[in-house]
Structure 1
C-alpha cells in the first residue's frame, strides 16, 4: 500500500485522444435507453393494478439490457486504447529492488532465547528471507557490536552471503558494545557508491539512545527489524522516528520492510526518461470479458458454446494445451511473467527465445548454461550477458573475450567498455594474488587441488597440490576461504580483530597486512546499473 500514492501520482494515459470516444458511447447509450415518446394514455376508469399490467416496456426499462453491457465494453475498450500507465517498463538488465545494506547487531543481548531459537538466529532467518525476496538485487552486510565491520560488500549473489551470515556470533566480535552510529556510517558510504538510491535495514533488539539522532538524520531510507519478543520495549527503539517493524511468524514483516526501502528506488525508476512507460491496457480486457459473459444466456448462443466446448475436447492429444495459460499466452509471454515475478529458473524453462532464456539462466545463477544458450545469438547484447556470466562463474579470461566480442559487434554498446576494463583488472588481480602466494605450496592452504585462470605470460594453467605443513605469516582472505578445515567464524574473527586494531581507512574493509592486492569491483550490468 505504500506505493499506491506514488502510482496515483504517475498515472496518465499514453494515447489520451481515444478518451474522446467515451462521450459518444454515453450519448449512444442514452439514445437507446431513453424512454419512448408516446402520447399519454388515458388511464381514467382503469384500476391501478390493471394499468400497471397493461403498460408495456416499463419493467424492461428498469432491468439490465444488452445496450448496457455493450456500452460498458466499449468504454473499457476506449480506456484500453488510451493506454493507461503508472509505471515504467522494467529494465531487464537492472535489479527491480533497491540496493540495500543489512546491518546486523551481533551483541550478547541478541543471544537471548526469549524469541526462539534466539534473537540472533531469528534475525538471521529473516535476513535470509529478505535475500530470497530480493533475488538479484545488490545487497551488502554489516555487523556491529563495540566496533562495526563490513562483512560482505555489495553483491547480487545472495548465496555468497549465507556462510558469512552463519559465521556471525558475539564471540567473534573484537569489542563489546553497541555502536550503531559507526555501522550506519559504513552503510551510508557503501550506498553512496551505488548508481541508484538504496536503503538501510537494521536488524537489532536494542538501540543506544545516543545513536537515535544519527539514525533519524540518515539521508538514505532506513528501517529497523526489531527482534524483541512481543510486549517488550526498548528505550532507543521507542525514540526512533524511522519505521520499526516487529518480527512476525510469517513473511509479512519482510514484505513491509522491502516496500519501505524500495520507495525512493521506485520513484527514481519513474523518473528515468530512458525507460518507456508500460502500457497497462491488458488489465481492462478481463472486466470486458466478464461483462461479455452476460450475452451467453438461454437460447441459441448457449448451444454454440456447447458445440465449441465439444470441439475443444475433440482436439488431438498432441495438440492439447498443457494448461489454461497455454490457451492465451505464448511460452515467451509466460516466461516474461515468471521473470517479472523474479522466478528466474521458471522463466528459463519457459522462454523459447535464446536471448531471453540466456538472461533468465544468468539471473538464476546457471552461468555455464547461460553462456551455452547465448552462443546461438550473435549480438552485442548476448555477448555482454555472456561476459557477466563468465565473470560470475570465475572464468575471467573468457569474460574478457566476451566483452571484447560485444565491443566488436557494437563499439558503443552501453557498459561494455567499462566492464572490459574491470574484467581485465580482475584477471590482473588473480594473477598478482597467485604470484604473491607463490601458488600456495609453502603455506599449506589445505585444498586438495585447484586450477586458476592464469593466461598471463605463458598462457598456461597452474595446478597446485596442498602442502601438508603450514607456513608462517597471515593468510590472505582468499586463502582463508579456500582452506578446507577453516570455519567462516575463524576467518571473520581474525579479520575483525585486524580491522579493530587499525585506524579506519574507508567504508570498505581494509585488507590485512601482507595480503594480496585489493580485489576490483565486479563488472556492472548494462548502463552501470
Structure 2
C-alpha cells in the first residue's frame, strides 16, 4: 500500500460540527443566485431587437458571480475549521523513517554480468542509493549465502556501512549455498531491538520455493536482480511480498522508499499516544487566493467591505520579517522544516525553543553546545538529552550528573536509569584503567596526551614515549590501526569464518560487545541512537 492510500484510509475530521456551517453557506448561495435569476429586463417601451442589444449578461445563470467565489472561500474555511487530518503529529524525538535491514545475497550466481557491471555490484549500488535516499534512517546490512552474517549492525551513519558493503564478495562467505531463511532470522533479531516496526529488504537474483512461505509471513521487500525476460521459480511463487524489478534508473529505489514510508505511516497511525496533525490551516491559502478576486471591479460585495473596514480598525501587533520565509513561518516552524529534512545545522540556528535547539545541536554533532543550551531547560527530557550529549563528547562524569538530574525530575523517565548505570560503569572503568596505569615510572615527554574523565583523581598521570628506532617501537592502538594495510573483504572473511565456528551463532553475537547508553525508546521521547 502506498502512502497516498494509507492517508486516504486514515482521513477524517477532528471537529465534525463545523461541517454544519456548509448548510447556511449553501443557503446563502442559493438565495443570491435565485434573486439574480428573477431580475428580468424591462419589456415595455422597447423593441425586442433593441432590448436584446442593450441587455448585458443575459446568461447570468451560467456566468460566474461574486457570490460563487465568496461561498467557495467560506466553504474552504469551514472545512478547514473542521480539522481535516490523515496523519498523526510527528514526534521530533522519534525517528520518522522505519528501520531497515538490507540482506544481500553473496553467491557465485550474483557475479553474472547479464546486469552490468554484475548482479552483485548492481545490488551494492542500489543499497548505496537507498542509504542516500534514507539519510539518517537506521539501517543494517546482512550478507548471506550458505550462512548469514550481520556485516553492519543498526546504524544511522551510512559512511559506516559503505566500506563493508564494498568488501562483500562470494570469496568472503565461509559456506556456499542460498539460505535466505537464516538471513531473515538474523534480520528479525536486529529489528526486535528497535523501537518501531521495520522491514527487511532482500537483494537477490532468486529464491528457493521452499523459503517463500517464511518470507511471506514477514514484512519483506524483494529487489530482483534478474535481467528483463528471465524468470525464477521462487520469485514467481511470491504473492504476498512486493517484488521490485531492478531498473537502470532510480525508480526501483524510489518505489522501495515509498513502501517503507507507507509502512512507517501505518505504524504511526496505530500509536494512540500521538495527537492527530490538523491540516486545516492549509485551506486558508486557497481561500486567500479567492479573496484576491474581490479587488476586481464589480466583484466587491458590500458586506465584505464592512468586514474589511472592521479588520483594518483593529490595532496591529508588532511584526518582524527578515526574509520571505519569515512572512509565513515562525522561527520554530522554520527550524522544524529544516529538522524534518535532516538539515540539523540550519535547524539549530533557526529554533528559538531551547529544547528543540539543543536537540538539533545534538543531532548535528555539536555536543558541547547542545549540553550548554539544554542546561537552560528544567525538564527530565532536556536532562536526558544533555546526558547523551555528555557521553558522546566523552564527558562521562557530567553525563552521570545529567542522568541523575533526569531521574530526580522524573523517576520513571524511560531508559534514564539504564543509561545512568552504564555511565557509572564507564567512569569506574576509566578510573580503574587509570589506577592500573600507575607504574610509578616517569618515561619522559614525547607522546601525545591521553585525557581521561578522571575527576576523582585516581592513579597517576603516566606519559609514555614511543621509541623512534623502528624495530622495537611499540605502537599504540590508534597508531596500529592507522598502519594496518588490510582490505575490508579480508576482515569480513576472517570474521565470518569465526562466527561460523561458534557453537550457537546468532545476530545477537554480531552486535558490539558491552552495554551502550540508550536513548529513550518511548514514542513520546528521544529515539534509541545506539549504533
Distance 2:246 2:449 in 1: 43
1:110 has 2:97 as partner: no
Higher relative contact order (CA 8 A, sep 6+): 2
Moved more, 91-100 or 132-141: 132-141
Moved more, 130-139 or 422-431: 422-431
| SS across alignment from 1:407 | helix
Distance 1:154 1:231 in 2: 35
What's the CA shift string for 1:314-353, capped at 9, x where partnerless?
xxxxx99664322221232112112223333332333233
Alignment root-mean-square deviation, CA:
3.9
Superposition deviation, residue 201 in structure 1: 0.7
Superposition deviation, residue 508 in structure 1: 1.5
Q: Which runs of 5+ in 2 are unaligned?
A: 301-318, 439-446
Moved more, 49-58 or 288-297: 49-58
Distance verdict in 2 for CA 1:250–1:152, change over 3 Å: same
1:258 counterpart residue number: 257
Distance 1:470 1:125 in 2: 44
Superposition deviation, residue 288 in structure 1: 1.1
Superposition deviation, residue 492 in structure 1: 2.0
Distance verdict in 2 for CA 1:201–1:173, change over 3 Å: same
For residues 475-486 of structure 1, what are the structure 2 equivalents within 5 Å?
484-486=484-486
Distance verdict in 2 for CA 1:300–1:228, change over 3 Å: closer
1:238 counterpart residue number: 236
Distance verdict in 2 for CA 1:411–1:2, change over 3 Å: same
1:498 counterpart residue number: 498
Superposition deviation, residue 458 in structure 1: 5.0
Superposition deviation, residue 456 in structure 1: 9.4
What's the CA shift string for 1:116-173, capped at 9, x where partnerless?
3433333223222322333333222211122111122223333332332233222222
| SS across alignment from 2:522 | helix
What's the CA shift string for 1:102-125, capped at 9, x where partnerless?
111122333334433433333223
Q: Does structure 1 retain, via aligned residues, the 8 Å contact 2:99–2:198?
A: yes
Distance 1:429 1:420 in 2: 14
Distance 1:375 1:354 in 2: 9
What's the CA shift string for 1:423-446, capped at 9, x where partnerless?
4455567789x79x999xxxxxxx
TM-score with structure 1 length normalisation? 0.80
Q: Does structure 2 retain, via aligned residues, the 8 Å contact 1:103–1:141?
A: yes
Superposition deviation, residue 386 in structure 1: 2.1
1:94 counterpart residue number: 94
What's the CA shift string for 1:449-503, capped at 9, x where partnerless?
68475649854678767797899xxxx9x99967744443333222111111123
Q: Which runs of 5+ in 1 are unaligned?
A: 302-318, 440-447, 512-516
1:525 has 2:520 as partner: yes
Superposition deviation, residue 69 in structure 1: 1.1
Q: Does structure 2 retain, via aligned residues, the 8 Å contact 1:10–1:86?
A: yes
| SS across alignment from 2:59 | helix
| SS across alignment from 1:508 | helix
Q: Does structure 2 retain, via aligned residues, the 8 Å contact 1:103–1:142?
A: yes
1:292 has 2:299 as partner: no
2:380 counterpart residue number: 380
2:271 counterpart residue number: 272
Distance 2:484 2:165 in 1: 18
1:21 has 2:21 as partner: yes
For residues 17-416 of structure 1, what are the structure 2 equivalents within 5 Å?
17-36=17-36, 49-50=49-50, 52-53=52-53, 58-218=58-218, 221-241=219-239, 242-297=241-296, 323-416=323-416
Superposition deviation, residue 233 in structure 1: 3.1
2:313 counterpart residue number: none
Moved more, 241-250 or 35-44: 35-44
Distance verdict in 2 for CA 1:196–1:38, change over 3 Å: closer
What's the CA shift string for 1:184-214, capped at 9, x where partnerless?
1111122223332111011222333332232
Superposition deviation, residue 55 in structure 1: 5.1
Distance verdict in 2 for CA 1:339–1:121, change over 3 Å: same
| SS across alignment from 1:342 | coil
Distance 1:284 1:137 in 2: 32
TM-score with structure 2 length normalisation? 0.80
Q: Does structure 2 retain, via aligned residues, the 8 Å contact 1:404–1:420?
A: yes
Distance verdict in 2 for CA 1:37–1:330, change over 3 Å: closer
| SS across alignment from 2:178 | coil
